[in-house]
């Protein structure tokens, strides 16, 4: 199995990395320099997928989305949103909605998956991070298996309330005018004739 790469701008990345490493044997933490040169990193080695522990409103994530699309590397986004934890979307370019598609549809979501992380958000305890890392690991492993029918492979967001265990799922739709993954973005002349 190819390694799963992980990127996060958060201070708690050390705790997340240690917890995820217990369940995912081939996990590689990306430095800021590697993220800045992601196209070059992909030329050297393609991961099974790239996990971004950050919100969908992160500007770096938009660039990562475009680079992953160019290299055809699957992408998973996960982060704390208020007191909840969100896993997804799982992005398989050409099959599911990408981060830019989700951003275009954010007003239709029953919850705000685009709220930036703030100091006002309750910090998750180490025990809770361990539990969420176990669930996130299971979702990531299923996501990387081509025959899996996991929620992430179907392009869904999974929103979990860590305190109650309640969860909600919502599926994004590929946008026909997405500036990253639509046929309009790749070949505008062909899109006009559809």
Asked if pLDDT for residue 94 goes beyond 80, the answer is yes
Average pLDDT over residues 67-79: 90
pLDDT of residue 121 exceeding 80, the answer is no
Say which CATH class 4-192 falls into: alpha beta
pLDDT in tens, 168-180: 888 888 888 788 8
- Whether pLDDT at 67 is above 80: yes
Output Rg (C-alpha) for the chain, integer angstroms. Answer: 16
191 class by beta-carbon count within 10 Å (0-12 exposed, 13-18 middle, 19+ buried): middle
Q: Are the C-beta atoms of residues 54 and 9 closer than 8 Å to each other? A: yes
The DSSP secondary-structure symbol of 116 reads P
Split at pLDDT 50, 70, 90, the class of 191 is very low
pTM for the model stands at 0.83
For residue 194, what pLDDT is reported? 45
Residue tagged 């109650």 (tokens): 164
Residue-level pLDDT at 93 = 87
DSSP string, 40-89: HHHHH---SEEEEES-TT-HHHHHHHHHHHHHT--EEEEEEETTEEEEEE
pLDDT at residue 75, rounded to an integer: 92
pLDDT digits (tens, 9 = 90+) for 43-56: 888 888 999 888 77
Judge whether 165 and 131 are in contact, CB under 8 Å: no
Between β-strands 84-91 and 156-160, what pairing exists: parallel, antiparallel or unpaired?
antiparallel
CA dist., res. 44 & res. 64, Å (int): 17
**Residue-averaged pLDDT of the chain:** 81
What are the extents of the domains in the chain? 4-192
């Amino acid at each position: 199995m190819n390694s799963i790469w992980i990127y996060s701008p958060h201070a708690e990345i050390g705790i997340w990395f240690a917890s995820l490493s217990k369940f995912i044997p081939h996990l590689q933490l990306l430095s800021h320099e590697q993220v800045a040169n992601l196209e070059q990193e992909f030329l050297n080695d393609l991961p099974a997928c790239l996990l971004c522990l950050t919100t969908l409103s992160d500007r770096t994530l938009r660039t990562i989305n475009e680079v992953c699309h160019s290299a055809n590397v699957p992408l998973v986004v996960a982060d704390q949103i208020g007191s909840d934890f969100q896993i997804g979307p799982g992005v398989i370019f050409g099959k599911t909605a990408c981060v830019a598609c989700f951003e275009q549809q954010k007003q239709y979501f029953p919850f705000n998956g685009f709220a930036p992380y703030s100091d006002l958000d309750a910090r998750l305890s180490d025990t809770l991070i361990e539990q969420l890392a176990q669930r996130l690991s299971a979702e990531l492993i299923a996501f990387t298996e081509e025959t899996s029918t996991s929620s992430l492979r179907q392009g869904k967001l999974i929103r979990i309330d860590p305190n109650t265990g309640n969860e909600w799922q919502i599926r994004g739709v590929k946008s026909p005018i997405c500036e990253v993954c639509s046929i309009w973005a790749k070949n505008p002349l062909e899109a006009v004739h559809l």
